[in-house]
Amino acid sequence: MRHELDNPHAHATNNPCIRCLRHADRYARAVVSMLEVFASDKAEAKHNLFLKEGLCDIDKTLRSNDKRDTLRERPRNQTSSAMTLSPEKRARVMQGEILIDLNWLPDGVIGAKGSVFVEAEPPVVWRMLTDYDHLHETMPKVISSRLLETNNQTRIIAQSGKSGIFIFEKTVNFTLKVEEVFPEHLWFSQIGGDFQVYEGEWQLEAVEGKNGHATLLSYQAEIKPDFFAPQFVVSFVQSQDLPTILRAIRSYCEARAKG
């Protein structure tokens, strides 16, 4: 049975005002708690914060790394070890869980990784991820997306999106360079915009699903805004946004596969 990761604190109600107030209270408590532990340099305390506030309803960890293995320095034919799931985690993803892992990296960078199983073959998922002119219609948090340039397997894309939490959302604008290896890998990196660091990759692995060919989709990125945003805020935003994005990709591609 697929676990859709419903909010364990949600209450059954049809009153949108009540739901809004409950969400507001939840986020307010989370922000207050994060501020209380912000002065601490203990990664375990920060991880427990997410557990305490009920925000760690999927597999998230926050840990400090002494050395940052930058994506820019990795050969393009080499898959990051961070994209390889342990047998236990792989089994959980194949059963329908969405797994998220967050890392506190040096220089204020946040590492975000996620995996999701999609009952659609890799070319279907690929078409969605590379339909750059329409990502704002299919991808949460994307406001606009436009393909500017194509050169062999390289694409230049202008995008804008929403970044932030609750009422503290900010519109960010950036230009990405994307390198494609159909239908297995997408590497992206900012070449201009509102981030000091924004680079990552999508990996599409062909696997067997209940209805034939399916995809194990993995994502990883390193993120640091070029505006004031404490590391704990960036990690909190990713903990909320990444599951939403992966869930949307799964829903969209599975609907296309059935159609």
pLDDT in tens, 244-257: 999 999 999 999 99
d(CA 35, CA 234): 13
d(CA 198, CA 178): 12
d(CA 103, CA 115): 15
Which residues are CB-neighbours of 237 under 8 A, at least 6 positions away?
163, 164, 165
Domain 43-258 annotated CATH 3.40.1160.10: no
Q: What CA–CA distances, in Å, run from 215 to 116, 127, 131, 179?
A: 8, 13, 18, 20
Longest dimension (CA), the chain: 52
Q: What CA–CA distances, in Å, run from 199 to 36, 74, 178?
A: 30, 12, 10
User: Buried (b) or exposed (e) across 41-54, using 16+ Cβ within 10 A?
Assistant: eeeeebbebbeebe
> pTM of the entire structure?
0.74
Amino acid of residue 256:
R
Per-residue pLDDT of the chain (259 residues; tens, 9 = 90+): 333 343 334 344 455 555 555 555 555 555 544 444 443 444 333 433 333 333 333 444 444 444 445 554 544 444 454 478 999 999 999 999 999 999 999 999 999 999 999 999 999 999 999 999 999 999 999 999 999 999 999 999 999 999 876 666 889 999 999 999 999 999 999 999 999 999 999 999 999 998 889 999 999 999 999 998 889 989 999 999 999 999 999 999 999 998 7
